[in-house]
Structure 1
Amino acid sequence: MQKDRRRYRKQGQDMHTIGFAIYEIPEEYRGCQNVHLKKDFFLTHSSCARSETFINLREVSNRLRLPPGEYLIVPSTFESGQEADFVLRVFTEKQSETEELDDEISAELEDEDDISEDDIEDSFKSMFAQLAGEDMEISVRELRTILNRVVTRHQDLKTDGFSMESCRTMVNLMDKDGTARLGLVEFQILWNKIRKWLVIYREYDMDKSGSMSSYEMRLAVESAGFKLNNRLNQVLVARYAENEAIDFDNFICCLVKLEAMFRSFQQLDKEGEGVAEMNITEWLYMTMCG
C-alpha cells in the first residue's frame, strides 16, 4: 500500500505503478536476519510468486498458496529509481513470523597508527611544503583551495565545490593533535582516503551522471568498508543529498565523518562488545568536534 500519495497529488504527482514479487529463501540464508540481498541474488534466482499485475493504485493485494518455508517479499515500483513510502501487510491462515532482512552495522578500518613521516614519499613531502606554506600545516581555507582545484580537473564529477563548513569538518575529524590544522601525516592519510574514495565513486556511479542515487550510495558506502542498516542508509541520504542526489564533495564528507565516528566508537568500546560508555565531556567532544 502506498503512503501519503494524496499529499503528493497536490504537487502534481500521481500514484506509482506498484506490485510485488516473492522469492524462496535459499538454504544458506534460512534463519538469517542480518543479511541484505544484493542485485546478484535477483539476477540468479527467479520469483516463486508475483502480484497479478503492476498497477497505479493505492493498494495491490493477492491471495497466494505456498508450501511451508521461508520467503522474501519484495514490494517495488514498476519503473526503477522511484522512491516512495509504503506499508506491507501479510495475512496468513496459520501463525507465521515476519522479519526485516537487514545488514549488521560494521566497518573495516585500516590501521593508521603505523604511518609516520618516514613512510611518506619525497615527492609528496615536496608537494605538501608548497601547499602548506611556512607553518607546514594545512588550514581549513588552504584545504578548501586544494580540494576545489583537484575536483575542477575532473569534469565527470558533479560537485558544487567543497564548502568552508565541509572542509572545517574534515580538518576537525582528521586533526589528531588539536591544532585545527593538518600536518604532513594527517594530510597524507586524508589524501589517500580521497583518492581511494574517488575510485569507488566512479565505479558505483553506474549511470555516469556524475552524482549518486540512494541505491548507488548504499553500494558505494559498503564498498568503502561500511555496512549500515536500512535506517542509517536513509539517514545518510537525507543528510547528504541535494536535489535527490549525492554529489562528490558530499560523498567525501560523508565517508570522512562515518569513518571518524566508527573510530571514536571503537576507542570507547573497550571490551569489543558493540557497547560504549562515555561521560558528558567525551560526548560533547565527539559530537562538537565532528
Structure 2
Amino acid sequence: MPPPGVILDIIEHRRRVEGAGSLKNPVKFHRQDFHTLRQYCLDNRLRFTDGSFPPDSSSIGPGVLKDHDLARVVWKRPWKIVQNPCLIVQGVSRFDFMQGKVGDCWFLAAIGAMTFQTRILEQVLPIDQGFGNDYAGIFHFRFWRFGKWVDVVIDDKLPTLDGKLIFVHPNRDNEVEYWAPLLEKAYAKVCGSYADVIAGSVSEGLMDFVGEAYVGFILKPALSYLWDLMDRAKKYVSLMGCATLAVTPGEDTELPNGLVAGHAYAVTGVAQVISHGHPMKLVRVWNPWGFTEWKNDWSDKSPLWQTVSEENRRKCLKDADNGEFWMSMQDFLENFCELHICSLSPDYLDDSECCWTSSTQEGRWVAGVTAGGCTDHMETFWTNPQYLVTVENETQHTEDQGTANMLVSVIQKSDKKHRHLATMYQIGFYVFEVPPEFQNSKQRFPASFFNTHKPVEQTKTLISARGVPKFFWLRPGQYIIVPSTKNPNEASGFLLKIFSKFKVFVEECCVQPDFDVRTLSHSQSYEPENIKNVFSQYGDQYMEINAEQLQKLLNEKIIKRATSQTEGFALDTCRSIVAMMDLSTTGTLSNKEFSRLWRKVLNHRDLFLKLDESRSGKLPLSKLWNTLQRTGTMVDHTLIHLITSRYGNSYGEISLQSFIFLQLRLDYIDKTFHTLSKGNGMHLQQKEWLHLAIYS
C-alpha cells in the first residue's frame, strides 16, 4: 500500500527545497527513475513494461474506441510494427507525424510549434535514449507541470488496431520515426490516459513544453501592435499557437475557406513581403492534421505570390499539401479567435533592452475559507488569498506599442489524477494600489478596503483556462494582487507567476484578527472548586475519568448547554483526547490531568461561541483561518486545506466538538514537536514513532 498523500506531499516539498523540480533535477513522475530502470532491464536482458501505465484498456480510457474495437487492441513495440525503428531521423519536423483517433489537435499543434526550437525540444525529449545499443523498451520525456519539471517514464508498447497505430503515427514518408507517438504516450500518462488528452487549449501544451512566460490574446478587437510582437517572439525562444472559434461545440467543422472551426493550429512563422509596391505582413500557420489548408489570399496556390520578388517566393512558398499555409495578418485576425505565446522570458513583449526577474507564489482557493469568488461577490471577495507586491525601481513608461513592465499570470492546478475530471474554473486576478494609510501592512486587507477601492489593473474577463495572463505597467509603490475564481467556494490550487523588469518583493498577506483571544472573559467553571465538582460528578471510585465517562461529561456539560443542533463527541474522539492529556499513560485522566483539559475545553468553547452568534453549534469554515490565527497557530494554505478536509463537513462548516478537538490536537502536536525537536528538526526511532502515532 502506498504511503498517504500527506507524506508524499512532504517528501515532494523537501525535494523541491533541495532543488527538485528544476529542469536539471526534475521530479520523477510516479517515483520512476529512468536510468535505474533501464540499467536493471539491460543487466537482466529484459524489455521494460510500465506497471503504472499498463498496456491495457485503462491507459486508453473511456470513449475513445467502441467496445468491440477496444477488445481487439494489440499493444506492440515499434520494432514489431516496422523494421529498424528510430527515435529521430535527421532531426525533428512538424511534418514527421499525423494525428490519430484521439482529438488532441491542441497538443499536436504545440508539438509542431516546438519543432522550431531546439533548446525547448531538448528540454522535453532527452537525447540519452533510442533504439540503439542501450535499447530496453523504455523511454522518458519531460514536461513542466504546475510549477515543476517532471520526468515521465514509459515503455514503448503502443496500441494498434489491425496492425496500425491508433493514435499519433509517423508520416507515410518516414514510417520508422517514433519520437512523436512516444511523446504523445508520455503526455497521456501525465494526464491519466489517452482519453484525457481529448479537447484542450493549445496554451496548455505550450506551457507544459516551456514552463515560463505565457501570454494569451483574444484577437477581437484586433491589436495594432500584435504582428510586431509576433515578429519579435519568433526571434526569441518562443512557441506560438492559435485557435479558431467553434461552430458546434465539440465538433471540428471544415469551413469553405479551408480552415477548421473549433480547431488548434501552430503559428510557425511570420514574414513581411512587398506586394504591388506595398509591404504585406503575413503569418504562417500549420494544421496538425497534416492536410486541410487555407484557400484564400496567400494560400499555396494564390496568384498573389506572383506579385512578390522571386527571393521572397522561394524563401516562403512551399506548395505542398502538408497542412501549412500563409495568410495575411488581417485575415489571421479575422479568422482566428485567440493567440498564445509561451517563451523562456518575456523579452519579446517590447523592443527595450532589459532583464526580467520572476517570482512564483503557490496558493490554494479553499472552499468556505479562501475561495471568495470575483468582485461580483464583495461580501466574500476579500477572503481570497492576497499578495503584497512592492515595486521599488523607477522604470521609464512610454505609450509605445505593447510597452509593459509587469507580466502576471494565474494558473489553476487541479488535484485530479485524470485531466478530464478536473473542473476548469473561470479565473483571473485583480491589482489594487495600496494607499499611504495602508503602506507596509502585511495583514489581510478587510472587506471595507475592497468596497472603497477599485483595481488599477485586472484581467479583462475571467476565463475558463488553465492559465490567464496579463501584461501591464505599474509605477513604483505597493500593490495587492488578488487571484480569484468567478464564484465563491470553487476549490483549486493555483500558481501566481510574476515577471517584472525590475526587482519586486512579493509576500502573502497575513490575517488580521478582529478581536484578541486574551480579551475573552473567563467562565466561572474555570475556578478550582467548580472543576473539582465536575470531576467528582463523572469520575469513578478511583478518582479517574476514562474515555466513556469523558464522552458523557463533554456532551452533557459542553454540547447540550451550548447547542442542541449537533450530535456531540464520539467515543473515538474522547479516546484520542484522553491519550493526548494522559501524562501517566494509564488510559485514564487524574484530577490534575482533567483540570488541564477542562480549562482548555472551556477556553476553546468560549472562543467558538463568541463567533457562533446564532448558537447553531456550527461555524462557517470561512471564519476558521482567522480563528486559528488568533490562537497563535501559524496556518498556511496547505494546512487550512487539510484541516477543512479532515474536520469540516460537506456544507462548509465545522461543529463545536470538531473545533474543540482540532484545537486540542494542534496544541498537542505543537508541544510534541517542541519537546522532542532539536532546532528545526526532529529525529525519532521507529519504535518511538509507533508509540506516538498509536497513542494520540
TM (norm. structure 2) is 0.34
Residues 19 and 75, structure 1, Cα contact 8 Å, conserved in 2: yes
Residues 138 and 183, structure 1, Cα contact 8 Å, conserved in 2: yes
Where does residue 88 of structure 1 map in the other structure? 496
Where does residue 627 of structure 2 map in the other structure? 220
- Deviation of 1:23 after TM superposition, in Å, equals 3.2
From the superposition, tell whether residues 37 and 102 of structure 1 become closer, same or farther in structure 2 (CA, over 3 Å).
closer
Unaligned runs of 5+ in 1: 30-34, 105-109, 111-118
1:184 aligns with 2:596: no
Q: CA–CA distance in 2 between the matches of 1:289 and 1:3?
A: 36
Residues 538 and 549, structure 2, Cα contact 8 Å, conserved in 1: yes
- Deviation of 1:232 after TM superposition, in Å, equals 1.6
From the superposition, tell whether residues 214 and 264 of structure 1 become closer, same or farther in structure 2 (CA, over 3 Å).
same
RMSD of equivalent CA atoms: 3.7
From the superposition, tell whether residues 14 and 210 of structure 1 become closer, same or farther in structure 2 (CA, over 3 Å).
farther
Structure 2 SS opposite 1:86: strand
Structure 2 SS opposite 1:63: strand
Deviates more, 1:35-44 or 1:73-82: 35-44
Where does residue 71 of structure 1 map in the other structure? 479
From the superposition, tell whether residues 56 and 40 of structure 1 become closer, same or farther in structure 2 (CA, over 3 Å).
closer
From the superposition, tell whether residues 5 and 268 of structure 1 become closer, same or farther in structure 2 (CA, over 3 Å).
closer
Q: CA–CA distance in 2 between the matches of 1:183 and 1:141?
A: 15
Residues 204 and 219, structure 1, Cα contact 8 Å, conserved in 2: no
Residues 137 and 182, structure 1, Cα contact 8 Å, conserved in 2: yes
Where does residue 243 of structure 2 map in the other structure? none
Structure 1 SS opposite 2:568: coil
Which letter does structure 1 place at the counterpart of 2:603? K
Where does residue 32 of structure 1 map in the other structure? none
1:200 aligns with 2:607: yes
Q: CA–CA distance in 1 between the matches of 2:607 and 2:445?
A: 17
Which letter does structure 2 place at the counterpart of 1:132? G
Residues 131 and 138, structure 1, Cα contact 8 Å, conserved in 2: yes
Which letter does structure 2 place at the counterpart of 1:275? G
Equivalent positions of 1:32-47 (< 5 A) are 37=444, 39=446, 42=449, 46=453
Residues 200 and 223, structure 1, Cα contact 8 Å, conserved in 2: no
- Deviation of 1:146 after TM superposition, in Å, equals 1.2
Where does residue 581 of structure 2 map in the other structure? 174
Residues 240 and 246, structure 1, Cα contact 8 Å, conserved in 2: yes
Structure 1 SS opposite 2:532: helix
Task: Give a deviation string over 1:127-183, Cα, whole Å, max 9, x none.
Answer: 311210212111001111111223123226x53321111111100001111111111
Q: CA–CA distance in 1 between the matches of 2:448 and 2:676?
A: 37
Q: CA–CA distance in 2 between the matches of 1:209 and 1:53?
A: 41
Where does residue 288 of structure 1 map in the other structure? 694
Where does residue 666 of structure 2 map in the other structure? 258
Where does residue 22 of structure 1 map in the other structure? 431
Equivalent positions of 1:237-248 (< 5 A) are 237-243=644-650, 244-248=652-656
Which of 1 and 2 has greater Rg? 2
Residues 551 and 570, structure 2, Cα contact 8 Å, conserved in 1: yes
Which letter does structure 1 place at the counterpart of 2:646? R
TM (norm. structure 1) is 0.75
Task: Give a deviation string over 1:171-223, Cα, whole Å, max 9, x none.
Answer: 00011111111111211221111111112112334787542333211111122
Q: CA–CA distance in 2 between the matches of 1:155 and 1:181?
A: 27
Q: CA–CA distance in 1 between the matches of 2:455 and 2:507?
A: 19
Which letter does structure 1 place at the counterpart of 2:598? W
Where does residue 523 of structure 2 map in the other structure? none
Deviates more, 1:63-72 or 1:136-145: 63-72
Unaligned runs of 5+ in 2: 1-410, 512-517, 519-525
Residues 141 and 164, structure 1, Cα contact 8 Å, conserved in 2: yes
Structure 1 SS opposite 2:653: coil
Structure 2 SS opposite 1:73: strand
Which letter does structure 2 place at the counterpart of 1:146? L
Structure 1 SS opposite 2:484: strand
1:274 aligns with 2:680: yes
Where does residue 397 of structure 2 map in the other structure? none
More strand by share: 2
Q: CA–CA distance in 2 between the matches of 1:208 and 1:245?
A: 13
Q: CA–CA distance in 2 between the matches of 1:124 and 1:207?
A: 28
From the superposition, tell whether residues 85 and 172 of structure 1 become closer, same or farther in structure 2 (CA, over 3 Å).
same
Residues 444 and 510, structure 2, Cα contact 8 Å, conserved in 1: no
Task: Give a deviation string over 1:79-105, Cα, whole Å, max 9, x none.
Answer: 44443333434344x25556452669x
Residue number among 121, 127, 131 corresponding to 2:538 in the alignment: 131
